[in-house]
Structure 1
Amino acid sequence: MRRHAPARLTLPQQCEVCRRWADSGICAECLCRFAAPRPRCTTCGLVTGLALPRCGACLREPPPFECTVCVADYAYPWDRLITAFKFHGRAELAMPLAELLAAAVRRSVAQAPRPWPDTVLPVPLAPARLRERGYNQAWELARHVARTLALPSDAALLQRPLDTAHQSALTRSERQRNLRTAFMADPQRRNALQGRRVALVDDVMTTGATVRESAAVLRRAGAAAVEVWVLARTPDNPTAD
């Protein structure tokens, strides 16, 4: 049974979107305007006309993860906030963004009851990228989400020992090739995944190549199930490779 997360003292602060004073980092008005729940494929997180367990693409090629939880589409204002958080040193945004993701996870579990994960893992960064950025934004999210939900988290169980090209400039097929053999489970702790349910956290899910490869590695290492938790989901582009 999960423990209840300890209560935290909240002080008035400025909303990161509209800059008005609010009780949290993102005010209720901005959440209602920019992050209203939308019908999505519960497997990959893409917006659909109806809330479906699996969209056509996931039916044709089921991914190695069970479900996807996301806060909103990757669009204004989330693209601006995530860029600042990820590339411009604004690590303090991890807390308000993680609170949004934790709330989305709670809604998802309430709507589709399932066991809570045994552990929460971030999508890892390669060593050179971590040195360049100074922190792994996925780990900053993962540890705050896990703490909010009173779940264990682990920064090193999934690893990315190889430096690969930046994904942002690659096509869908190039992303898939770029990530082959990029990830591995810690070889000294593989038993830690045996029969476990895992939540995999990242900031943005674009084509899904990164979380697919990460989830596949976790499943091969013995994880019983993997679900994906992301802040934002890039809308589908049928013309993309």
Structure 2
Amino acid sequence: MRTATQLRLEAAWQALRQWLGATVLPAQCALCGIGCPQVLCPPCRAQYLGQIQPRCRQCANPLDDVATLCGRCLRHRPAYDDTVTAFDYAAPLDQLLLQLKFGARLALAPLLAELLHVAIQQQTVWEAPQLLCPVPLGPARLAERGFNQALEIARPLARLLDVPLQPRLALRVRDTRAQSGVAPQERQANLAHAFAIAPEHAPSLHGCHVGIVDDVMSSGHTVNALATACKSAGAARVSILVVARTPPH
């Protein structure tokens, strides 16, 4: 049950989001540029988002058959229990995330949350988490970028799912190099001991189902490291909710 203060804050955020949508984003599709009142035009939605792709239940990598788990997850089970993604991180949809992350087009975050919410609703088996936790940025990168794209997506997603958001549940205790700039064989070591659970929130994790929210999942080492920290603090289940999944090469 939301308090009156929470409702006022949500109304203010909604008004700000609408202002940003009108100010930051022109009245045209973010992908094809055609004039339309929506951020993404109906033809682009139908062309790029209309099909459901079979995916591994645990890591969300594409599958060619009816198996529920991919070979990699069968051989080496990650710390997280399941993953939902809205689309593959590939052209042209990757532009939506690039515009948000590096172009600071924050008005795209609600659209990405909506697309992720649609993907969640399409799951045949879905257990809602008890709270959402965005992947935190390190202090240096947060100061450089000015915002955490995972948090910007998690805010509207939490409202759509009606699940509490805890943005300060996890801390990035060690600044790491961006995973995109690290050799694949070094990515796991790059994130070793990078995350910790904030002491004041640790008691709430015992037996809890945590939903970790991020923009892009590539190797999975980032969300796996955070899931490991959650499980070590007592979480019973960890679900990954990620807008885009980089297909395996």
TM over 0.5: yes
How many angstroms apart in 1 are the aligned matches of 2:66 and 2:183?
28
- Specify every segment of 5 or more residues in structure 2 that has no aligned partner in the other structure, as ranges: 2-9
Please give the residue correspondences for 1:52-201 in structure 2 after superposition, counting only pairs within 5 Å: 52-108=67-123, 111-112=124-125, 114-201=126-213
Determine if contact 2:79/2:224 at 8 Å carries over to the other structure. yes
2:194 match: secondary structure: coil
8 Å CA contact 1:73–1:234 kept in 2: the answer is: yes
Amino acid paired to 1:219:
K
- What secondary structure does 2:226 align onto? helix
**Aligned twin of 2:48:** 34
Instruction: State how far apart, in whole Å, the 2-side matches of 1:51 and 1:105 are.
Output: 19
Matched residue SS, 1:83 = helix
Q: Partners in 1 of 2:45 and 2:81 — Cα distance? A: 26
Partner of 1:19: 33
Shift of 1:37: 1.7
| Pairwise CA distance, 1:178 | 0.6
- After TM superposition, the runs of 4+ consecutive aligned structure 1 residues lying more than 6 A away are 8-12
Instruction: After superposition, give the CA deviation of every residue in 1:182-204 in whole Å (9 maximum; x if it has no partner).
Output: 00001122011111111111110
What's the counterpart of residue 44 of structure 1?
A: 59
8 A Cα contact 2:31 2:95, kept in partner: no
- AA of the residue aligned to 1:232: A
Aligned-partner SS, 1:173: helix
Aligned to 2:116, what secondary structure does the other structure show? helix
Q: Deviations over 1:125-173 (max 9, x none)?
A: 0011000000000000011111112111111001102111121111222
The alignment of Structure 1 onto Structure 2 pairs a total of residues equal to 231
Amino acid at match of 2:229: V
3-state DSSP of counterpart to 2:229: helix
Tell me the TM-score normalised to structure 2 length.
Answer: 0.86
Q: Partner letter of residue 42 of structure 2?
A: A
Identity rate of aligned residues, in percent? Answer: 41
The residue type equivalent to 2:238 in the other structure is: V
Contact 2:171 2:195 survives alignment (8 Å): yes
C-alpha displacement at 1:51, in angstroms?
4.2
Normalized against structure 1, the TM-score is what? 0.89
How far off its partner does 1:22 sit?
4.5
How well do the aligned residues superpose, as a CA RMSD in angstroms? 2.3
Contact 1:41 1:51 in 2 (8 A): no
Cα 1:117/1:22, change in 2 over 3 Å: farther
CA distance in 1, matches of 2:38, 2:67: 31
Shift of 1:21: 4.5
Of Structure 1 and Structure 2, the greater helix share is in 2
Unaligned runs of at least 5 residues, structure 1: none
Q: Tell me how far apart the structure 2 counterparts of residues 201 and 140 of structure 1 sit (CA, whole Å).
A: 10
